[in-house]
Structure 1
Amino acid sequence: MKKIISNMEPFNLFFYKDCFYNSLFSVINKFSGSVWNVLAHEAVFYDYSEDKVLRGKINYYSETPLFAVLADMNISNMTSYSTDFLIDTIRKAIVNETPVIVKVDCYEEDIRKDFYHKEHLDHSLLIYGYDDIEEKFNIIEQSQKNILNYSPVVISYESLKNAADCYVRHYHSQFPEEALLTGFMSGLSDNKGTTDEFSYMNYRLYYLRSLDRMLKQADPLEVIVNELINYLSGYRELENDIDNVIEELNEIVNARTVEKYKVDYFLRNEEMTALADTILSNWLSIRLALLNYKFRGNNIRDKFEKTIRRLRENQMLEQRLNYSVFVLLANHKDLT
């Protein structure tokens, strides 16, 4: 027997938080929900983090639990904290038109050549079909970490079970509150959480409620900028930390990419969209300079000097954007 849930498409517009969300966004689109309503409920800001090499990080804050946001869009869920009877549990869910997100460790995911039997990585897979003859699941997966190329592929029952069990052994004790399997169902009634107006109201409400966090993020951003400048100026040894620096810059780039889309979608203000785009472009250039260093590119010193200027510029631009968004939202209650 085999079954595939129709109209399940990869979400490749941007990375958001972690791979669970990129899987979830495919589910939301399948059930005619609104990805924007999820984004509207969450504030993204810079925060302190002494366990990062840049001593700061991107943080996310929401007053509303994710599943409550989904419920507003008439999307319900079921969860499991066990991998016992994993294959049968997933098959039964698929038969009932319920796509499932499963926690796995890429170390045992044989289709992930970048991690298979090389390195452990906690990950999420969206499963939307199965074939008992081939003993394979239909999933949506990316080819490499930090590559936004989610696509439909297949994975064997055995590999999925091994990867899920490996996650339990290496990660579940660290995140016991996170379900190992989450299935999603859509109801039949109309829902308010899919309209532009509803999403905008939530965006405005939660941005203004998060204003204190937004205003305070200038300080941790300055810490991040100063640590980067210390690396770029030679006051800190970059060679040994370059991979961590690039990984942390990836998180910033991903967050600023989402911010650009949010500003464009919710505010519909060309000046603010251009400002958000400039901030993102600067962060992309900053990351590129570090990648050039890692791969022994040319004119590194000149590129680092330009990077320092971009870092200082972004400090001012990000404060300007936060203030501009606040002023607009404080004075405009309706989506225009």
Structure 2
Amino acid sequence: MMKEIILPITPFNSLWFKDCFHMALLPVLSQILGNADCIKYNQFFHYVLTEEGIAGFNNEFNNIFKIMRYKDINFYLEPTNDIISEITQALLAKYYVVVGIDNYYEEKRKDFFNKEHNGHSITIFGSNIKKESFWALEQPFFYSYNYSEMEIKQGNIELGYQSFLNNIENNDFFYNTLSPISRINGRDIPSSCFISGEDLSREKKDNLSISNYVNKYLENRQNIYKNLENIKLYERDFEYYYIKCADPTVGSKSINNLSKLINDKRIEFYLMNNIVNIGNGGNENNDVINYWTQIRSYISKFVYSHVINKEHIYICQQLIKDIYYLEKTYYSKIFRKLKKM
């Protein structure tokens, strides 16, 4: 009997890309297709104003599973009563497995193990039958994008998967709420995704996906500029949004929105810089990220201290004002370069 099965794979460690489901799927598609551009270049970013204040929003193009079918990737999605057997059989057939688990039952995750329930997706690419364990790509702690190969006990996977199924309708179980493009039929959260490891037409980049991405940005140029005005509105009413954060729920949402916005800006720059040489446009983007990070820090201090600091409010308003002009400059450079492609 074969003692160990290992399928080839390389973790994606460039940055945190959207959510743990994307982080689990990117290495698999890169292995099969030679790149994962079809799901990377599947969105464009703009600013929105919510009840809690400023936020980033990704206009997403196509459902991930429709993209995979279009790319002729063989895969199947279905919950199972015997996840260990299903994974083992899939690996024998050279299928990768992206599986949902609850970190509460995962010994490798010291931040959650026996402490807190958390819905999470990992990539399983191998097994050690003798040791009754699976090889998976996993992060060492929450929000880390330093993924590596880890050996996880089958018992951890079995308990974690069952808890995932039991809590799949509970929004509090997930830190990142999956958007419709990452859901089955735009509706259901995938608990397990079995993907054939058969190499297809491997290419270093997907020119069609990149071209579509560029066209979407150019088509939405006016909307992107228009939505920059939400930054000015946020600056004008910042004191109002700041004081609203005295409510713990509002404060938590505001901090989470800023964290997501900061990461979305990193993703946007990563994608753009891979197709055009942004040059010193990267300086504006770095400043924008640094300023939003400072604003998040000031809001966090208020949320946890409940002490209104007028000086902090003034500093944040000045930072937001600077962000508006930095973004105008940044996007003007981006659009000039995209038009030349």
TM (norm. structure 1) is 0.81
**Which digits, 9 at most, give the CA deviation of each residue in 1:74-123, with x for residues without a partner?**
5432211x131111111111122211111222233343232234333221
- Partners of 2:147 and 2:61 in 1: CA distance: 30
Match of 2:131 in 1: 134
Match of 1:154 in 2: 151
Kept in 2, the 8 Å contact 1:41–1:206? The answer is no
Between 26-35 and 125-134, the greater mean CA deviation after superposition: 26-35
Q: Counterpart amino acid of 1:310? A: L
Between 180-189 and 258-267, the greater mean CA deviation after superposition: 180-189
Kept in 2, the 8 Å contact 1:276–1:321? The answer is yes
Gaps of 5+ in 2: 172-182
SS at match of 2:149: strand
- Partners of 2:316 and 2:49 in 1: CA distance: 22
Kept in 2, the 8 Å contact 1:83–1:180? The answer is no
Kept in 1, the 8 Å contact 2:96–2:124? The answer is yes
Choose which of 280, 291, 302 in structure 2 pairs with 1:271: 280
Q: Counterpart amino acid of 1:146? A: Y
Q: Count the aligned residue pairs.
A: 323
**Which digits, 9 at most, give the CA deviation of each residue in 1:214-261, with x for residues without a partner?**
2442254455556654465x5752777654433222111110111111
Q: Counterpart amino acid of 1:277? A: N
**Which digits, 9 at most, give the CA deviation of each residue in 1:134-183, with x for residues without a partner?**
22111122222222322222222222122111121222476752221112
TM (norm. structure 2) is 0.80
- Partners of 2:62 and 2:109 in 1: CA distance: 34
Match of 2:326 in 1: 317
Task: Give the alignment of 1:19-30 within 5 angstroms.
Answer: 19-30=20-31
Question: Structure 1's 5 and 75: CA in aligned 2 closer, same or farther, altered over 3 A?
Answer: farther
Q: Does 1:184 align with 2:195?
A: yes
Q: Does 1:94 align with 2:91?
A: yes
**Which digits, 9 at most, give the CA deviation of each residue in 1:278-299, with x for residues without a partner?**
2223223333445666788xxx
Question: Structure 1's 241 and 73: CA in aligned 2 closer, same or farther, altered over 3 A?
Answer: same
- Partners of 2:101 and 2:237 in 1: CA distance: 34
Question: Structure 1's 268 and 7: CA in aligned 2 closer, same or farther, altered over 3 A?
Answer: same
- Two-structure CA RMSD over aligned residues (Å): 3.2
Choose which of 203, 212, 229 in structure 2 pairs with 1:202: 212
- Partners of 1:227 and 1:208 in 2: CA distance: 30
Match of 2:317 in 1: 308
Match of 1:218 in 2: 228
- Partners of 2:100 and 2:236 in 1: CA distance: 36
- Partners of 1:203 and 1:306 in 2: CA distance: 36
Q: Percent identity?
A: 20
Q: Counterpart amino acid of 2:8? A: N
Kept in 1, the 8 Å contact 2:46–2:228? The answer is no
Between 87-96 and 173-182, the greater mean CA deviation after superposition: 173-182
Match of 1:66 in 2: 64
- Partners of 1:209 and 1:28 in 2: CA distance: 28
Match of 2:165 in 1: 168
**Which digits, 9 at most, give the CA deviation of each residue in 1:2-39, with x for residues without a partner?**
43434322222111211011111111232243234422
- Partners of 1:127 and 1:318 in 2: CA distance: 40
Q: Does 1:42 align with 2:43?
A: yes
Gaps of 5+ in 1: none
Kept in 1, the 8 Å contact 2:5–2:126? The answer is yes
- Partners of 1:113 and 1:188 in 2: CA distance: 35
- Partners of 1:240 and 1:63 in 2: CA distance: 31
- Partners of 1:246 and 1:283 in 2: CA distance: 10
**Which digits, 9 at most, give the CA deviation of each residue in 1:166-219, with x for residues without a partner?**
121222476752221112224444256x43644431221222244454244225
Kept in 1, the 8 Å contact 2:32–2:200? The answer is no
SS at match of 2:11: coil
Q: Counterpart amino acid of 1:247? A: N
SS at match of 2:74: strand
